[in-house]
Structure 1
């Protein structure tokens, strides 16, 4: 084994939890709240990046997305639906927890998430019980695939990239991380990621 892994960087959505507010969830919202799904998607793509980098609040995002006209439901009704779309992947959470404990790893999150959704997910699924720090797009004002969000995470962790590993379900983001010297794992499912981690010397 060339370098013993000391730091594990990971995404949240698609790895530890469901993506939450993704295209499918927006489609379900359009049906449930009787909204124009094409209009919702267009407005989402025009404004969501601004929310994810922390420039606007969730209420401001929803004002642009849904509440630009009178609705028969409230902001809270809609937010409750959004939050309910977040579900855990228990096996992956347990895997990271076990590896952290066994190898005394530093665990950090690098994710594209708006502040309110991010805080809800951290608190609800107790991610801060095993994640040492969160480099979220809404906190640092950079989004993946901008390499700067990875650079900030590396600097904050004070970890050597040669002994650091990054897990993401999007290949592009893994490749950006690898371009900065991090070792990368493209997450597709639990068993595959477990095997890839073992290949890096992290065996449960």
Structure 2
């Protein structure tokens, strides 16, 4: 339990506010519909995704290496594939949006994100689901070139906030990401549901 007043609240996006951006189930749905050999894709996904989600490779290059150039017989193009990737995004928890809106309206906290996402998919999701109106800034793996749960992304978040880590609260649906934030001196809530989040915020002295 935090005894230091919270000044900055960092939010994960996928799994807390929105569906994930390009997870295994989403990949299976999209790639199967196109006739792509999914096991062959998955065999190279992690290696290439390392660069894409760290902002070291464009979406066009990522899908060229993992899908388009390895399935020439399907005559796929990025222009055909990208809208299908984006269409997998949706609002996951409206209740989480309600809490976020209440925190924004209170004017008491700096609000930011810490999320693993490519630059392109992050921009699409921020714009499509109106997330820019809620947050003061965005700590995205595609911007800072590191991913949760590695410490450098939390270091970037704290450095950019300009405030001590003990005044920060991080909300994420993955326990390992929360543990990494705590190891860096931040407070963390392992998200399970909007109702649980609301109760946990109250325990940290944050009324919503």
The TM-score bracket by the shorter chain reads over 0.9
Query: Which residue in 2 is equivalent to 1:180?
Result: 184
Q: Among 71, 90, 108, which residue is 2:112 paired with?
A: 108
What does residue 27 of structure 1 align with? 28
Tell me by how many angstroms 1:103 deviates. 5.1
Number of corresponding residues? 204
In structure 2, the gaps of 5 or more residues are: none
**Residues 138-157 of structure 1 deviation map (CA, whole Å, 9 limit, x = unaligned):** 11111111101111111111
Matched residue, 1:200: 204
Confirm whether residue 99 of structure 1 aligns to residue 103 of structure 2: yes
Whole-angstrom distance in 2 between the partners of 1:128 and 1:30: 30
1:22-76 per-position Cα deviation (integer Å, ceiling 9, x unaligned):
1001110222001111011112122111100111100000001111142333211
Are the counterparts in 2 of residues 168 and 187 from structure 1 also a CA contact under 8 Å?
yes
Indicate conservation of the 8 Å contact 1:107/1:131, yes or no.
yes
Native 8 Å contact 2:21 2:117 kept in 1? no
Q: Structure 1 regions of 5+ residues with no counterpart?
A: none
Q: Paired residue for 2:49?
A: 48
| Equivalence for 2:10 | 9
Tell me the TM-score normalized by structure 1.
0.95
| Residue of structure 2 equivalent to 1:158 | 162
With normalisation by structure 2, the TM-score equals: 0.94
SS in 1 for 2:35: coil
* 3-state secondary structure, aligned to 1:66: helix
Determine the structure 2 residue equivalent to 1:73. Answer: 76
Tell me whether 1:117 sits opposite 2:121 in the alignment. Answer: yes
Contact persistence 1:26–1:40 (CA under 8 A): no
1:143-188 CA deviation, whole Å, 9 max, x = no partner? 1111011111111111222221001111111001001111110011
